[in-house]
Structure 1
């Protein structure tokens, strides 16, 4: 209650403050004050009020807290620069209605907040309750309040709880008893509880301290989330087995270890029992996942199961697909920030009947860092992953299909960056070959750890004249480029750089000098003619040499055998068929061979008889042609070589019917002067005349 002293001081104080607190438009009014009476174990003393200030950076603001009975114009005030105020116990009565407001004043004006009216009994705020006991089976908690000490009736309470795995609170309100039980709690799980209560119709207390209880263990449920981490290196394609730690709701207690069964391509099996309590070098734990350091080379499939003291999970199977096989090439759409990654794709049509799940995997470059995956139902086409994605770091995102028999098929791969930057320099840039008007360049691409962004293309420039954009698609080939349109015998400065969405990287420069222009076209006819002349001279010399060799052979080596090869024309044909150079030599030695015509002349020759008389040789008697003896002598030397080469028999050893009818050649001298060729082939004069 206000005393007589305070009654006359209040008008003076209000008048003084009014000089400083007058209405203005440039100040914003503070919020409505919120007031309560905090209580300890035995006493509820003052009223605490708080509000939201409206700071003005131009000048300091003073806040004035006003209060007074609702049925009186009298009131009290306190002022200061903070955003809260206290109404002392002696300035109000219990179970009294009060109206409270706040004024904000600067050096020019003041503004007023909205008034709040309350009964002091309804703003009492008791201290939080305390937990008295708890039980695991069933999971139940008990607590108590001090409402009876404050001479107030017990009000309602509110309970909230959560598990160690899920940090979201679950709550129950309007609980009148001092206990609460959780129905169907998860085995082997830590629960955290908090409670707050109200006394009568007053305000609820603050939340109590947390109470943590672990439920009893049971056998784990579900399956282990198994995957493989595969990478390509110089030594080949290799995979390592990895799996995620079981959730608390699945583990239902302390996981003691894992049983890994490895099935090889040759039909054998190996079982590995690794401890999760004391892992060794064979098993490595990385935050939330386990990794088996044993290589999966020549492994066809694996299975993993987890166990605790009361049982084990079902075995998770995974078939390892042979490297090099690819599935449908789907296009991935990536949206990557530093805190999350969204991956979406178009569902393949038609959808495979054996498809069970999709697997989305991401891996930072270099491989082995920032590796994670998520499995989703086959009906989904969008995946949201949370994580820490570093700036300027390449992440390879891959989409896989997991079939009903747990076989893995890669569908698509893409590269993403949370933030892109300009790429690093090209590691190597060299000249592969140089010609007069072109040069072939080769370079080493920027490694993924230094790309700092998606490489859009490479730029190759010649001095400051031309710039070529080289695509990074697979059609680019083996990182080579043929530089066209160069001038012979000239120096050039050539540079290369990589380009990302953030811009081009630094240039790497090399120098080339083109070759001299070769004037082959001017001398080409002369060279061709010269080559032909040389070839003809060589052929002629070879043929002459062969002819000389034949002439030097002794005639005794030749056997006089009549043969058609004595003719130059037949000899030419034989040489063409059997001797590599015979056709050429014959054409040189005998350019126009012809067969001579034989002329038959009827003559009357005299024949000397043994008695000294003469008689004429009649037509039915033997005769020979003029010049035949000379021709026979010319061919005699060549018959022996020809017959020996072709394996022919002597005509002297052969019997001809015509020769039997003609017996006029009895003289041995006449037989030697007559050629075998004429005897065998030439008709007699009688045969010619008979025609």
Structure 2
């Protein structure tokens, strides 16, 4: 029942739907006695709108301060059903309007007590009320309740509030004896007065790496927890850190930092006394200083640290106790990001007193799932701080948000080297356990390889040349796997090792083609080089151009010092009897009919020498195999009486040299003196011989004279380079010249 309108509202709930349309719900009321055993008088029924499970009786239908019976009836085509009857006095179910808060003030001044002035709602002035007051610091969730506030005390005192804190206050009331509570009154705001902070700061420090190799100053980061509201006694305006000592002449210690943050960084000279005073201050003054000692000594770390997730925003941290007795521990944690790997901006820490602890629950608002955290544990000793132990952890893990992007660095005929950049730590969503690389070529099966998470390169081997391959990577964590995009690559048809071979083979083929072209152009010369053509003297034209009677040919006299362009390779001696004999040729054995041979000697002994006549067909022989054109000479001797070399009665030339293609005589018409000239190349220097005087006497004396002349000529021939080995017919003493 509303205390202002005095209307009574009943509410009910249907247990089940009748599943029939046309159901009729009716709220009935009856007057009754105190024990509600008899229904004395019925009041007008209340019919609710369709679909509504409540109905209100007006004030005129009610009987106050006596019991009444209320009941709900539901009727449809199949029948009717009634609820259990409810027996109550309408005044016992009255719901008052909320009270009004007028004023809140501190009583007395500079204490933690307040006085709240309030007023009950209209319509409850003559009722006995019971009220409650609740309050909370602004920004917090929980409320503090104050009970036993009655209508006889319009001012409600309360103590235990924080200094300098803004509060929210609300109040509600109910009619006595028990009835429904009113709604909470509108919020009333109140700020308590301030006083100087009363607590101490919880501080921690850590050394930072030096700014550079030449820097001697030590970077120190000082950290502290915000002061608790019950200790702050007001709004903290800032924090002030100073050295605990001051130099002579200074009125106050040197200030290290004065900030509104909960951390600061400063430099200290190595070896300086590292004791710092830290205070918090508000409008009423500073707090008691907190002494922070920066120990140079570093103690032993804990042997091992373990971290396991507790829930989405907390870790369980456990460790083995160190060898030395510890006085406490400090646990640090920070979220690892690519832009801030040290985690200075998101650093959390807590100090745990007691050296017998071996585990702790880390729970903070700055811990999020799927993010990596680096957790460090420092043992505290009486005179120092131990070295930290570090471990990385996740509260929850899932599949990576992305995979590394593959890049092809080096591709050959059968291999492909792949490279990738690691995933950003914010996108990993867990610890990367491994990478799996898949590749498939045209008309090939899928292949794969598992790569360690610490690797960033991989070489695929066993590929086919000149073929297309599709490659993609899968990144895996404990929470799942993610596939990356596909990389298309083509293996080479040849690589660097094949190029020199191809170039060499091509060059060899070109060289062979060039050689063949040259051979075709110079076929005659090449044929001569590989298969030299040795002319056959028997088939030469020497016999055709030789004159019939050489001793009758008028040959011009040779010029002095004329260079002979002819290289004589073989000499033939032809006699007037028509027989031709080879007298000399280098490397040739003595031929039949030559002087000095047995056949020649027998022939000379048996047959007389015929008279001079024209030479018969000359017999030719080769001198040697040579790439040059071979030259041949033919010596013709005129027949004389008694087989003499030259007839003393004939002044015509007795020896001539016939060269191929020329009729110029090699030897002069007179051979009075033969003198060798050893000049390279040899010169055919021939001088005319003076006519030999005819000896007096008979034929025997003349024969001796001829023999003496022939001996002298033979002696001269042995010194002439071009005529060495020439065997003149009729001179048996020159047979040994064939061996020269």
TM class by shorter chain equals 0.5 to 0.7
Q: Is the 8 A contact 1:240 1:293 kept in 2?
A: yes
Deviation at 1:456, TM superposition (A): 1.7
* 2:2 equivalent among 31, 38, 41: 38
Contact 2:436 2:448 in 1 (8 A): yes
Change (3 A) 1:346 1:248: closer
Decide whether aligned partners of structure 1 residues 147 and 258 sit closer, same or farther in structure 2, where only a CA change above 3 A counts: closer
2:336/2:425 contact within 8 Å kept: no
Task: Please name the residue that 1:79 is paired with.
Answer: 48
Please, which of 345, 348, 352 is the counterpart of residue 317 of structure 2?
345
Question: Partners of 1:101 and 1:351 in 2: how far apart?
Answer: 78
* TM-superposition CA deviations, 1:514-551 (whole Å, max 9, x none): 88699xxxxxxxxxxxxxxxxxxxxxxxxxxxxxxxxx
Secondary structure of 2:292's counterpart equals strand
Q: Secondary structure at the match of 2:64?
A: coil
1:456 corresponds, among 424, 433, 440, to 433
- Partner SS for 2:390: strand
Equivalent of residue 98 in structure 1, options 43, 61, 68 = 68
Residue equivalent to 1:183: 159
- Give a deviation string over 1:527-584, Cα, whole Å, max 9, x none: xxxxxxxxxxxxxxxxxxxxxxxxxxxxxxxxxxxxxxxxxxxxxxxxxxxxxxxxxx
Structure 2 CA distance, aligned partners of 1:423 and 1:151? 66
2:363 is aligned to 385
**Equivalent residue in structure 1 for 2:10, among 42, 49, 66:** 49
1:124 and 2:101 aligned? no
The reply to whether residue 136 of structure 1 matches residue 117 of structure 2 is no
**1:196 and 2:172 equivalent?**
yes
Distance 2:209 2:401 in 1: 23
Q: Per the alignment, in what secondary structure is the counterpart of residue 388 of structure 2?
A: strand
Figure out how many residues of one structure are paired with residues of the other and give that number: 452
Aligned pair in 2 of structure 1 residues 403, 215: CA closer, same or farther (>3 Å)? Answer: same
Q: Secondary structure at the match of 1:90?
A: helix
Q: 1:286-297 counterparts in 2 under 5 A? A: 290=262, 292=264
Name the structure 1 match of 2:183: 206
Contact 1:147 1:154 (8 Å CA) reproduced: no
* CA separation of 1:419 and 1:54: change in aligned 2, threshold 3 A: farther
Tell me the residue number matched to 1:156: 130
Alpha-carbon distance in structure 2 between the residues aligned to 1:350 and 1:408: 9
Partner of 1:330: 305
Residues 219 and 265, structure 2, Cα contact 8 Å, conserved in 1: no
Structure (1 or 2) with the larger CA radius of gyration: 2
Q: CA contact under 8 A between 1:220 and 1:307: conserved in structure 2?
A: yes
- The CA deviation at 1:88 is 0.5
Aligned to 1:306: 280
Name the stretch that deviates more: 223-232 or 181-190: 223-232
Partner Cα distance (1:67, 1:224) in 2: 67
Is the CA contact (8 Å cut-off) linking 1:65 and 1:85 kept in structure 2?
A: yes
DSSP-derived class of the 2:318 partner: coil
Q: Is the 8 A contact 2:29 2:68 kept in 1?
A: yes
Flag structure 2 segments of 5+ consecutive residues without an equivalent. 33-37, 245-252, 500-740
User: Within 2, Cα distance between the matches of 1:495 and 1:322?
Assistant: 53
Indicate which of 393, 402, 414 corresponds to 1:424.
Answer: 402
Q: Do residues 257 (structure 1) and 238 (structure 2) align? A: yes
8 Å CA contact 1:362, 1:398 repeated in 2:
yes
Indicate the structure with greater helix content: 1
Q: Distance in 2 between matches of 1:54 and 1:197?
A: 33
Distance in 2, matches of 1:68 and 1:457, equals 79
Q: What are the superposed Cα offsets for residues 260-287 of structure 1, whole Å, 9 maximum, x if unpaired? A: 3489xxxxx96244354xxxxxxxx6xx
Distance 1:78 1:362, change over 3 A: farther
Cα 1:363–1:57 shift into 2, 3 Å: farther
CA contact (8 A) 2:97 2:121 kept: no
- Corresponding residue of 2:30: 68
The separation in 1 between residues aligned to 2:211 and 2:435, in whole angstroms, is 25
Given that residues 189 and 249 in structure 1 are in contact (C-alpha distance below 8 angstroms), is that contact kept between their aligned partners in structure 2? no
Specify the SS of the correspondent of 2:432.
coil
2:290 alignment partner, one of 315, 328, 351: 315
Which whole-Å deviations, capped at 9, do the CAs of 1:188-228 have from their partners, x for residues lacking one?
Answer: 23343333233442524332333333333222133334457
CA distance in 1 between partners of 2:222 and 2:83 (Å): 66
Q: Is residue 408–residue 416 contact of structure 2 (8 Å, CA) maintained in 1?
A: no
Q: Does the aligned pair in 1 maintain the 2:435–2:451 contact within 8 Å?
A: yes
- Equivalent position of 1:621 in the other structure: none
Q: 1:303 to 1:469 in 2, by over 3 A?
A: farther
Kept in 1: contact 2:9–2:55 (CA 8 A): yes
1:94 to partner: Cα distance: 1.5
Deviation at 1:253, TM superposition (A): 1.0
Secondary structure at 1:77's aligned position in 2? coil
Aligned positions of 1:213-224 closer than 5 A: 213-224=190-201
> Residue in 2 aligned with 1:582?
none
| Aligned counterpart in structure 2 of residue 356 of structure 1, from 291, 304, 328 | 328
Q: What SS does the aligned partner of 1:249 have?
A: helix
Describe the shift of the 1:467–1:328 C-alpha distance in structure 2 as closer, same or farther (beyond 3 A). Answer: farther
Compared CA separation, residues 499 and 246, structure 1 to 2 (3 A) = same
For 2:267 and 2:191, the matched residues in 1 are separated by: 38
Q: Does structure 2 retain, via aligned residues, the 8 Å contact 1:488–1:516? A: no
Q: Residues 398 and 410 of structure 1 are in contact (CA less than 8 Å); yes or no, is this contact kept in structure 2? A: no
Distance 1:409 1:51, change over 3 A: farther
Which runs of structure 2 are paired with 1:240-639 in the superposition (5 Å)?
243-261=224-242, 271-274=255-258, 276=260, 290=262, 292=264, 304-308=278-282, 309-315=284-290, 317=292, 319=294, 328-337=303-312, 341-350=313-322, 353-363=325-335, 365-366=337-338, 367=340, 371-377=347-353, 379=357, 381-387=359-365, 393-404=370-381, 407=385, 409-416=387-394, 418=396, 420-427=398-405, 429-431=407-409, 442-463=419-440, 464-472=445-453, 476=454, 479-481=456-458, 486=462, 493=469, 495-500=472-477, 501-507=479-485, 509=487
Structure 1 residues 57 and 291, CA gap change in structure 2 (3 angstroms)? farther
Please list every run of 5 or more consecutive structure 1 residues that lacks an aligned counterpart in the other structure.
Answer: 1-36, 264-268, 277-284, 519-691
> In structure 1, how many angstroms separate the alpha carbons of the residues matched to 2:81 and 2:306?
62
Change (3 A) 1:487 1:163: closer
Distance 2:31 2:146 in 1: 38
Number of the residue aligned with 1:538: none
SS state at 1:449 partner: helix
What value does the CA root-mean-square deviation take over the aligned residues? 4.7
